[in-house]
Amino acid sequence: MSRKKWILTLIGVVIVVFILWRMFAGGKPGGPDASGGPDAPVPVTVVPAAAENVPVYLTSQGTVQAMNTVNVQPQVGGQLLKLDFVEGGQVRKGQVLAEIDPRTLQAQLDQAMAKRAQDATQLATARANLERSENPKYRQYVAQIDRITQKNTVDQWQAAVAADNASIADTRVQLGFTRVMSPIDGIAGIRQVDPGNVITTSTTIVTVTQMHPINVIFTLAGKYLDEVRAAQAKAPLTVAILDASNNMVEGDGVLKVIDNQIDPDSASFKLKAEFPNANNQLFPGQYANTRLQVSIDADALVVPSAAVQRGPNGDYVWLVTDQPPARPAGDESDTQAGAKASRRGQRAPASSAADNKPARYVTMRSVTTGGEAGDAGLIVTQGLKAGDQVVTAGQFRLKEGSKVTPMKPGEIPPPPTTAEIKAAAQKSGRGRRR
C-alpha cells in the first residue's frame, strides 16, 4: 500500500473516532430542571385573592323616556305668519315658537271695547236718573214703581258693562294665543307646518321634548321585588347606564318609582330611574342597559376574572403553593434525578429561582363563584381564602404539579443566562443526534 493510501486511511479512522466520540461522550441531558427541559419552571403571572367591599348589582334592559313631551298646537286658528325656533335646537319655557295672523282677533277686541264704552254711557245715564229720583227734593213726585224701574235699569247696564269687560279679557287672551309659546324647556323636533298655511287648533306645529332630567324605564324579575323594596326603604338606590361593552354612559341616576304590580305574563315588574343627563348622552326611545346597585357585599373574596377557568367539572383556578406534588410509586423524585445526574458526572437540577428561593408549584383548585366584582373581577364564595396566590396569565403551559416562577402583573421574566443557553443548545444537539 502506498504512503498516500495510508495517510487517507488514517484520516478516515480519525474522523470516524471523532464522530463516535461526539455521539456518545456527551451523555444524556443534565436533568429535569435543565434550561428548556420539560420540567423547567414556567413563568406565570399571579395575583392574591383579596377581601373587598363589592357592590351588588342587578342588571337589566330598559328604554329611555322623556319626562315631558308636548305636541305644541295653537289655541286659535288662522294663517301662520312665521316660525321662531330652530329644528333640533334648545327652546325655553315661554319662548315664542310661532306667530299667527292676529288681525281678526284684534278687530274683535276693538269691537268689544267700543261696546263697553257704549254700555258704560247707558249705565251713566241710568245712574243719573236714579240719583235724581232718590233725591229728597224730587222723591215725592216720583212713583215708587218708577224708582224700582230706574234701579233695575242701572243694574242691567252694570251687568252689560261687566259682560263687556269679560268679552274684552277673553278677546285679549285669544289675541295672546296668536303668539304660540313653548310650555316647557326642551329640544324642538322637526316642524310639522310651514309659514303661510292656515292652521287650526288641532294642527301640531312642533313637538318639544324635555331632556333634563330624563327617565329610564326598565324591568327586573319578580323574585327581586322584595330585595329592591327593602333596599329602597333604607336609602335611594343608584342606577347606571352601560353601553354594549359594559362601559358606563351615565352613572348618576336615582331610582324614583317601583311599579305597584308584577306583570303576570313576564313575571317582572317595572322601575323608573331619573338621570340629570347633563351631557345629553341619553335620548328618548333609546335602548339602555341598566345596572341597579342594591347593596354592598362586605369582605367578599375577589379574584381577577382571568384566573377562573372553566373545566368539565366546573370552575377552577391554578393555585400557587410551596408543596411539591405527590408522585406515584416508582416515579423518580427530584433528589433521585439529581443523584443520577451526579453519577453521570452532570450537574444537579437547578433551583426554580436564581436567588435560591424555594421552588413553587401549582395545583388545580375547584372554586365556586358568585357575582361579578367590577369590570374584571369575580367573587369566589368557596375554594379559596384571602391571600391565596392564583395564576392569571400563563395557564396554557401548566399541568398538575408544574414548577412555576411567580411574577407580578406586568413583570417580565429575566432573560436566560449564558450557561442556560449553552446547556439548552447542547441538549438540542444531542437530541438531534439520537
Task: Please report the DSSP string for 248-283 in residue order.
Answer: EEEEEEEEEEE-SS-BTTTTEEEEEEEE--TT----
* CB contact at 8 A, 378 and 370: yes
Where are the extended beta strands (E) located within 7-95?
42-48, 50-66, 69-72, 78-83, 90-91
Task: Flag whether 125 is in a domain.
Answer: yes
Q: Which of 143, 175, 200 is the last residue of a domain?
A: 200
**Does 272 score more than 70 pLDDT?**
yes
* CB contact at 8 A, 205 and 181: no
Task: Flag whether 173 is in a domain.
Answer: yes
CATH number at residue 129: 1.10.287.470
Where are the extended beta strands (E) located within 1-49?
42-48
Task: Judge if 115 and 156 occupy the same domain.
Answer: yes
pLDDT at 2: 63
The CA-atom distances, in angstroms, between 190 and each of 181, 193, 227 are 16, 9, 43
pLDDT at 47: 92
pLDDT at 355: 47
Q: Percent of the chain scored above 70 by pLDDT?
A: 80
Q: What is the pLDDT of residues 193-211, one digit of tens each?
A: 999 999 999 999 999 999 9
Task: Flag whether 1 is in a domain.
Answer: no
Task: Judge if 315 and 410 occupy the same domain.
Answer: yes
What single-letter amino acid sits at 385? K
Task: Judge if 149 and 222 occupy the same domain.
Answer: no
**Does 35 score more than 60 pLDDT?**
no
pLDDT at 26: 45
Task: Judge if 220 and 194 occupy the same domain.
Answer: no
Interval 104-123 mean pLDDT? 95
pLDDT at 22: 59
Task: Judge if 306 and 281 occupy the same domain.
Answer: no
Q: Which of 151-155, 245-249, 325-329 is the least confident region?
A: 325-329
State the DSSP string of 385-422: -TT-EEEEE-GGG--TT-EEEEE-TT--PPPPPHHHHH
Task: Flag whether 273 is in a domain.
Answer: yes
User: What is the DSSP-derived secondary structure letter of residue 223?
Assistant: G
Please state, as a whole number, how many other Cβ atoms lie within 10 Å of the Cβ of residue 273.
Answer: 25
Please state, as a whole number, how many other Cβ atoms lie within 10 Å of the Cβ of residue 326.
Answer: 8
The full length of the chain comes to 434
User: What is the DSSP-derived secondary structure letter of residue 285?
Assistant: T
pLDDT at 421: 62
Q: How confident is the model at residue 276 (pLDDT cuts 50, 70, 90)?
A: very high
Task: Judge if 322 and 412 occupy the same domain.
Answer: yes
* All residues at 6 or more sequence positions from 215 whose CB lies less than 8 Å from its CB, including other chains: 64, 65, 66, 67, 256, 272, 273, 274, 275
**Does 28 score more than 50 pLDDT?**
no
Task: Judge if 275 and 320 occupy the same domain.
Answer: no
CA angle, residues 201, 202, 208, in degrees to nearest 5: 95
| Mean pLDDT, the chain, integer | 83
Task: Flag whether 87 is in a domain.
Answer: yes
Task: Judge if 168 and 237 occupy the same domain.
Answer: no
pLDDT at 172: 96
The residues pairing with 337 across neighbouring beta strands, listed in sequence order, are: none
CATH number at residue 342: 2.40.420.20
pLDDT at 16: 67
Higher pLDDT, 261 or 395: 261
Angle, helix 103-134 to helix 144-176, in steps of 10 degrees: 160
Q: Which of 239, 270, 298 is the last residue of a domain?
A: 298
Q: Which of 173, 200, 227 is the last residue of a domain?
A: 200
pLDDT at 118: 95
Task: Flag whether 29 is in a domain.
Answer: no
Domain encompassing residue 140: 76-200
Task: Judge if 309 and 396 occupy the same domain.
Answer: yes
Interval 132-151 mean pLDDT? 83
CA–CA separation, 277 and 213 (whole Å): 6
Task: Judge if 307 and 408 occupy the same domain.
Answer: yes
Interval 148-168 mean pLDDT? 93
Interval 98-105 mean pLDDT? 96
Cβ burial 197-221 (10 Å sphere, 16+ → b, else e): eebeeebebbbbbbbebbbbbbbbe
Task: Flag whether 12 is in a domain.
Answer: no
Task: Flag whether 185 is in a domain.
Answer: yes
Interval 10-38 mean pLDDT? 56
User: Given the C-alpha cell 443534565, which residue does it identify?
Assistant: 30
CA–CA separation, 214 and 143 (whole Å): 75
Three-class SS state of 137: helix
Three-class SS state of 383: coil
**Does 216 score more than 90 pLDDT?**
yes
Task: Judge if 269 and 316 occupy the same domain.
Answer: no
pLDDT at 300: 87
CATH number at residue 281: 2.40.30.170
Taking alpha carbons only, the member of 178, 149, 166, 180 closest to residue 73 is 180
Taking alpha carbons only, the member of 58, 104, 47, 72 closest to residue 408 is 47
Interval 308-316 mean pLDDT? 89
Task: Judge if 372 and 330 occupy the same domain.
Answer: yes
Q: How confident is the model at residue 425 (pLDDT cuts 50, 70, 90)?
A: low
Q: Number of folded domains in the chain?
A: 3
Q: How confident is the model at residue 130 (pLDDT cuts 50, 70, 90)?
A: confident
The CA-atom distances, in angstroms, between 236 and each of 90, 227, 271, 275, 294 are 31, 13, 13, 13, 10
